[in-house]
Structures are given as structure tokens and as C-alpha cells.
Structure 1
Amino acid sequence: MACIGTWTFSLAAINSCADQIQSNHTSLDSLIQGVNVIEEDPSTGVYLVGRGSYPNAEGTVQLDAAVMDGENLHFGSVCTLEGYSKPISVARCVMEKSKHSMIVGSGACKFAHDMGFVAEPNDSLMTEETRMAYEKYKLSSQSVDQVVHDTLAVLCLDKMGNVTAGVSTSGPPFKTPGRVGDSPLPGCGLYADNMAGAAAVTGDGDIMMRYCPSYHIVRLMREGAGVQDACDKVVTEMKERHGAPFEAAVIALNMKGEVGASSLLKEWIDVRNKKVYNGFPYSVWQLGKTPTIQIQQYL
């Protein structure tokens, strides 16, 4: 039993997942509840997740999320969802209650409403901090390339030997309306397969989606690679193929509960507490251990 999440702010999600898994909940139920903790906390919106996220270039909060069940390879995602603060829960409904695997835009909003989720005004999904940032953006025409690319990604392995992957993000602040990155795309932002394990990524999704890194990591593990070796190999390949520097980090979890991570980050600044991390920070829990923050150095 184990779980791993991207960035320091995932620790609250990992704590929740660990409690749920040890209480015999499934990896899927545990993951959804853990991600919801972050999605519903407006103080973590500055990390580009859920309530309190930055809006797009037109002032609308649009959220993406996806979930994948490694037991049967079932997958569900929503993209550019407006008016709902817990997109990972809507993505689960797509996976379990729709004949489709991905629903976007107004269709995703209608689907959420039909599933019983209650829509909120756009303004209620923003905080004073993100509203002020948007007003500043309109005046200065700040480039989205000047802001960080954070994504909440969580991987969970339960006592039954089932692994699940989930991601949730608002994407880059002030993005082009309708923009979808790698996060809600299977094999790109996340992948899970009980025959090997699970992986997820965070960073500049417009670049990473070209390489299908999550599927690549899981495939390497299925072929016998160690979890850390698989992460390093995929990140190295992206680095070499792309050439120019870009932000990328990956996490992975195999069926033994072993974890791995690799990144192209030399440092990460936590925008909430202004703490500087020399590398890529991520949260980890494994059976018999206390959830902790670990740091993966630049590859």
C-alpha cells in the first residue's frame, strides 16, 4: 500500500489517501477523496488546482481532471469544465456512468449538472488574490509563459493490489480559452495498469503531451524496468528530444509499492510560503511510514 503526489501541496491529499487506504477503502475512493481535499481548499488554488484557481484570458475558471483505474484500464476525464470546483469527481462519473471517456466544454458542464453536481458562479471559484492577479494581467498583458505550471497528480495502491491515477488542474493562469494540456489525456498526464503500476506528470503540458510520458513509464515497468529507472529514462528522452529547457517532472508507483520521481527542475518556489526547494518536491506515503515531502534533484 502506498501513494505519491506532486509538489508540497499534495501532502494533505496524501495524508487523506493514506488514512482511507488503511481503513480498507479502495485506491479509487481514496484518491478521489484526497484530491477533493485540495480542490476544495481555496488556499491551494494558487497552485492551479480547483477552487481559487487562476482564470483564463477572458476571466473564466476552466478546470481539467482525469482518473484512471488500473484494474480494468477504465478512464474518465473532463476538460474546460466551468462552474464546478471538484472536476476529479465529475471525471469519475464520466468513467463510471458515461459511455464516453472524455467530455469537454459545455457538454462537461451539462454532464456534471445531470449527475447532480451543483454549479457555482464563476466569481465564487476565485479568491481575492486570483481576481487581483487577473485584473493586473489585463492591465499589463503579462505572458502566460512567465508563470509556473503546477498540476496536482496522485497515484494510489490499495491492499487489494489495485492502482489508480488521478490529476486535477486549472492549467496555466490566463491561458487561451479552451486550452487543454496533457493532464486529462490518457498516457500523457496519467496512466495506470495493474500489470505494472501507475505514473503521472506535471510541468509544461503543451510540450510533455508530445511524448506520452506516463504511458511510456508504465510500459517500461511492465517490461521489467525499476520504477526509478523508468522515470529517469523517460525524462532523459524528453530532455534530449526537445532540446530547449522546459519544466517537467514525473512520479511513478509500481505494484510493490515502490515509488520513483524524476525532473528537469533545478528549483521550485512554493508561492504560498515563499520557500525554495532545490529540485522537485513531492509527497509520499508507504505502509508503515509517515507521509513526508521528498526532493528529487535535477536530472
Structure 2
Amino acid sequence: MERRKFLKNSGLGGAALMGGAWAAACKEETEGRKVEAKTLSGPMVIATWDVPNATAKAYEVLHGLGTALDAVEKGVMVEEADVENQSVGKGGRPDRDGHVTLDACIMDKDSRCGAVVYLRDIVHAVSVARKVMEETPHVMLAGEGAKKFALEMGFPEEDLLTEKSRQEWLEWKKTSKYEPVINIENHDTIGMLAIDSNGDIAGACTTSGMAYKMAGRIGDSPIIGAGLFVDNEVGGATATGMGEEVVRTVGSFLIVELMRQGKSPQEACEEGVRRIIAKKENYRDIQIGFIAVNKAGETGAFCIHPGFSYRKYSTAGHENIPAASYIKS
């Protein structure tokens, strides 16, 4: 999987495609002027990395006329449950103390959002984040409080450290050296954005964070505006890679605001990466990737180093799309 190579240079098989075209025409307010958006035929979903099972599950929900919110939750849950994906959910690589801790957030068409950080022993962090959004007056719960809430909501408690990840952690402890290296999967994310049959947008982002991170470290993934942002009048964006740098530029919010000002998703993603590079002298030592979609269903992606791609499932088909990069080789 290309996603697993990201940090060195850093579906729905049987489902029928949605028949018939529908138009989701929209107007955006852009600096006092009205801009007529293009039309979008049918629902669509995009996700960071080549995760065909996740996008297939999300599109299955959309194809059944489900909401974008349901689609992104069900989609990223696929990766959370995949023990072979060691950067998300069960089987994720632990922190330096040997604990697997999860971060996730979710955001809907009405700008409602929920997040959990440093959550232990619960597989589906994204679903707990949704419960925070729907069942509490808060946006974010952390640590033991997040776990207590999850158990109260009926989520099962489970040890997330698989034997494979445990053995790798024990090997790492021999040197205890932490140097994030581009194209080695020690920090990563799945971020997903969807547009449903009503033309509404939602997004979700989930991760187990940096491998062997300091206990308590939180990246961009559960931070609304950094790892994920959705504005139903404009579009959505999500990020992957070195989260600290995305937080510093409030990257996903920036990209959505650039789209509001009239930039295409591709132009906005490129500017988002350039903002990070401008503030990061040693940008060649890190990898950042953004994806975005606007209300018209146009998509974009950009990253620092080659190797990042995103999955797209729409009425036009199911494809993995390599992202353009600032550094060409």
C-alpha cells in the first residue's frame, strides 16, 4: 500500500454506481459577490491514502441514500478495525510507554463537531467522537474522561496493542531513538470527506498518532480546523503527516477559507502546503499531505514529498489518485 511508504519521501466491488444524474447547485458568498458553483452528479467520497475498503464502505452508505456523516464514520471505522494498519485504531503503534492511544474527530453539515484525544482501550475512536458531538454539550473529551464516556455509551473495552506492534515497540526500546523519517510509517492518519445525495458535506479523521510518541502527545488529527474542517457552503479539507506543522497553520481551515475566496481545491491545497514550507526551514525532513473537496464535487490534493495519494469513489468510478508534490523527486 502506497500509504505505508509515505514517510520515506515524506472498492465497493459489487456495488452498482448511482444511476441518473442529480444536480446540487449552490451559491457561495465570496467577498460580497455571488459565485454560481458547478453542478455535481451523484454522491462521492475521498480519503487520504489508498484505502479502497474504507472508501467502498463509505460509498455503500451514500449509494443507499445515507448521509455524508454516516458515510465518513462507517468508512474510517474500516481502517480503525484493521489490525494490519498500524497507524489507526486497533493494532496502532504505541507511545514510548507501550500504550496505544487514539485521536479522532468528526464534523457534519451544520458545523457540529466532536473529538476525542488520548483515548485508550476503545477501537472506534471516531464513533466516540460522534457521541461527544451528539450526546454532550462539548466538542472534545480527553484521556480517562473520554474512555469513561465511551464505556458509559456502551463501547466495549479492548486491548489495542497487538503482538506485532508490541514486538516492534520492544525492538524500538533497545535504542529508544525517536527520529520521524520520511517514508517510514510512524505517523499517519486516515481523513475522509463525503458529499451525499442531498449535496451535504461531512468529514472524519482518525489516527493512533506518532509511533513511540511522548505520552500525552496530540497531533492535528482530532483538532477541528487543523486536521479536519468542513463548511457546508464551501467544502471540506483534511490532512495527514506531521501533525504539529498542520496545527501551526490551522491547515484544513485555511484550505476551506481559500476555497471560499474562489480558489479551486487543488489551488487551496497547494497554498496550504506552501504556507507550511514558508515557516519550516527544514521542511525537507517532514511530509504533509492535504486533500479537499468543494461544494461542486471538485477535488484536490498536494503534499511536500512524492508518494502521497488519495482514494476517490463517485459515479465516475473508484480510483486511487497520486497527489502532486512540492518536491518532485
**TM-score, normalization by structure 1:** 0.91
Q: What do you get for the CA RMSD once the two structures are aligned?
A: 1.1
Q: Which residue of 128, 134, 144 maps to 2:163?
A: 128
Deviation at 1:190, TM superposition (A): 0.3
1:262 and 2:297 are equivalent in the alignment: no
Alpha-carbon contact 1:191-1:215 (below 8 Å) kept: yes
SS of match in other structure, 2:164: helix
Segments of 5+ residues of structure 2 without an aligned counterpart are: 1-42
Are residues 182 and 90 of structure 1, via their aligned partners in 2, closer, same or farther at CA, if it must alter by over 3 Å? same
1:212 and 2:253 are equivalent in the alignment: no
Residue aligning to 2:288 = 248
CA distance in 1, matches of 2:153, 2:171: 36
CA distance in 1, matches of 2:273, 2:77: 29
CA distance in 1, matches of 2:276, 2:132: 31
Q: Which residue of 32, 39, 46 maps to 1:4?
A: 46
Q: Deviations over 1:89-143 (max 9, x none)?
A: 00000011111000000000011011111111x3xx1222211101101122131
Give 1:75-94 correspondences, 5 Å limit: 75-94=113-132
Residue aligning to 2:320 = 293
CA distance in 2, matches of 1:262, 1:5: 13
Deviation at 1:144, TM superposition (A): 4.5
Alpha-carbon contact 1:57-1:176 (below 8 Å) kept: yes
Alpha-carbon contact 1:5-1:11 (below 8 Å) kept: no
Segments of 5+ residues of structure 1 without an aligned counterpart are: 267-278
Residue aligning to 2:238 = 200
Deviation at 1:145, TM superposition (A): 2.1
Alpha-carbon contact 1:220-1:230 (below 8 Å) kept: yes
Residue aligning to 1:23 = 64
1:51 and 2:94 are equivalent in the alignment: no
Residue aligning to 2:105 = 66
1:182 and 2:220 are equivalent in the alignment: yes
Deviation at 1:182, TM superposition (A): 0.7
SS of match in other structure, 1:292: strand
SS of match in other structure, 1:139: coil
Are residues 80 and 144 of structure 1, via their aligned partners in 2, closer, same or farther at CA, if it must alter by over 3 Å? farther
Specify which structure has the higher proportion of helix.
1
CA distance in 1, matches of 2:173, 2:275: 38
- The higher radius of gyration belongs to 2
- Name the aligned partner's letter for residue 292 of structure 1: E
Deviation at 1:7, TM superposition (A): 1.0
**TM-score, normalization by structure 2:** 0.83
